[in-house]
Amino acid sequence: MAKGTNILKVRDDHEPVYFESEYGDGFQFNLCADRQKPSWLSDKELSVTTLRERIEPWLTSLFQSEHLSLLIGSGLSTAIQNIAVDDPQNVMGCPKSNTKHAPIIEKAIQESVKRNSRGKANIEDYFRVLNDLLRGLEILEKMDDHAELRAERDKFLSEFVSNISATENSIATADEKRRTKAFNNLVSFLMSFASRTGTRDRLNIFTTNYDRVIEAGAELAGLHLLDRFIGTIAPIFRSSRIDIDMHYNPPGIRGEPRYLEGVARFTKLHGSIDWLEIRNEIRRIGLPFGSEKVDSFLKTPELNTDSTHIIYPNASKDRETAEYPYVELFRDFAAALCRPNSTLVTYGYSFGDEHINRIIRDMLIIPSTHLVIVSYDDAQGRIMKNCEKTGRISQISLLIGPALANIEILTDYFLPKPAIDKATFRMSELLEQRYRTNKSEKTSNTHESSAGSTSPK
């Protein structure tokens, strides 16, 4: 029996609604004792049906905004892994340095955590501090210390990549029934966002994850992902996208290509475990999902050189906004969000990266934009703090807690139907026309009867 506090704010709610949930064989929801009952719940019980009536139409409307973006954090990978296996792994712990510079590194990490309001250090903080220190030692020409620290960094980086690969492997090798269930939920989740009509701007998917769970789900869903990589064997990251897209020619129409449905733009803001820097070029290697060992895929004539480096994780604001390829990735992020009639949905993102939060706050300066935050919890309070910091609470919707953000409940009850097809719209139009016709006939008959009863004999 799982319990948790949930926070809901959608539509015209002036204040978030706080309620407690218990769900095992069924669902039990109770408003928190110190919270006022919302007006839309005055004559109803708090149930899944009531919540669905409140949430699903609102999300359906927002998902058809002129511009739609989805920011995915580590919560999605954790959610999928929770369905597939019993013991999900956490690969974001902060390693401890074993060199003589360990006290200096630890102090710098804690100062960074405090400055960015992270609450707890992770591996990104470690790599950022270590790379700054390596650069300083290189300038001071202390090459012995530099070599020792670089060896430690490479060791931890190799372990980090192996742990992420192990996470993928645990999903790929899970029990078939549970694995199928996990990927079905993932496909439904992605297609709920990607199912947009061809007249709308493409969905933009952004993620801070290094794994390929999203790519695996998109492949199963038949969702085409457009990124900055061009090529087949070892695609190269290109700065000039030139807005490459996918179109098709409908039968009988010439010169009027239309957007192909099931296409999304995809950006991994922090890099990926299959990205390598080779001779000053960023390439994506053919690393199968769930590979037990990554090193074996690097033993090729082109990759096995001194100039090959893994694109390491780094949470540094300066690096990710000023260096290649991060500058290109964050340029895409800002350009997609900061424009009128734009909606951003975050899932599993804990608002721990200030350089990302700043762009989100800039987006909300535009009155026609909207932010939807979906998160399993707010353990460190960063989500609510950032909402208050924006000063734009009327442009923010909240779905926080296990009763709202659990991916199985979310896809079953609250997300829009993961399909946009003309048959659905045609059926709705026919029903509306028939209803109006029947209503008009009844009204006409009523008027005739009334006229007949009042006419003189």
Instruction: Summarize pLDDT for 238-290 with one digit per residue, the tens.
Output: 877 667 888 888 777 666 778 888 899 999 998 888 888 887 788 888 888 88
Residue 318, CA distances (Å) to 123, 323, 420 in order: 17, 8, 41
User: For the ranges 43-57, 311-325, 350-364, which has the lowest average pLDDT?
Assistant: 311-325
Task: Give residue 271's pLDDT.
Answer: 87
Q: How confident is the model at residue 423 (pLDDT cuts 50, 70, 90)?
A: low
The larger pLDDT score, comparing residue 113 to residue 360, is at 360
* pLDDT tier at 319, thresholds 50, 70, 90: very low
* Comparison of pLDDT for 279 and 318, the residue scoring more: 279
Query: What does the buried/exposed string (b/e) look like for 296-310 if buried means 16 or more CB atoms within 10 Å of the residue's CB?
Result: eebeeeeeeeeebeb
Lowest mean pLDDT among 36-40, 91-95, 135-139, 341-345: 91-95
Q: Count how many residues are written for the chain.
A: 457
The answer to whether residue 427 scores a pLDDT higher than 80 is no
- State the pLDDT at residue 317: 43
Query: Which tens digits make up the pLDDT trace of 4-41?
Result: 789 999 998 888 889 888 765 567 788 887 777 888 88
The model's pLDDT over 435-457, given as tens digits with 9 standing for 90+, comes to: 765 555 555 555 555 555 544 44
pLDDT of amino acid 280: 76
Ramachandran angles phi, psi of 41, nearest 5°: -110, 15
**Residue predicted with more confidence, 307 or 291:** 291
Q: How far apart are CA 367 and CA 394, in angstroms?
A: 10
Query: What's the confidence (pLDDT) of residue 130?
Result: 85
4 vs 21: CA distance, rounded Å: 6
Band of pLDDT at residue 230, cut at 50, 70 and 90: confident
Q: What is the mean pLDDT of residues 340-363?
A: 92
d(CA 295, CA 289): 14
Which pLDDT score, from 0 to 100, does residue 123 have?
78
Mean pLDDT of 327-348: 93
The percent of residues above 70 in pLDDT, for the chain, comes to 82
Confidence of residue 93 (pLDDT cuts 50, 70, 90): low
The whole-number pLDDT of residue 253 equals 63
**Assigned token pair, 205:** 């998917």
Indicate whether 318 pLDDT > 70. no
Per-residue pLDDT band for 312 (boundaries 50, 70, 90) equals low
More confident call, 408 vs 240: 408
CA 334 to chain centre: 15
**Chain position carrying tokens 């250090």:** 121
Alpha-carbon gap, residue 402 to 188, rounded angstroms: 18
Computed over every residue of the chain, the mean pLDDT equals 82
Q: Is the pLDDT of residue 221 over 60?
A: yes
Name the band, by pLDDT with cuts 50, 70 and 90, for residue 369: very high
Q: Compute how many other C-beta atoms are within 10 angstroms of the C-beta atom of residue 348.
A: 21
Residues 115-155: tens digit of each pLDDT: 766 667 777 788 888 888 888 988 988 888 888 888 888 88
How far is the C-alpha of 102 from the C-alpha of 121, rounded, in Å?
A: 15
Q: Which residue has the higher pLDDT, 99 or 181?
A: 181
Answer left, alpha or beta for residue 388, where phi above 0 means left and psi between -120 and 50 means alpha: alpha
Query: Can you give the pTM of this predicted structure?
Result: 0.84
Confidence check: pLDDT of 201 > 80: yes
Is the pLDDT at 67 greater than 90, yes or no? yes
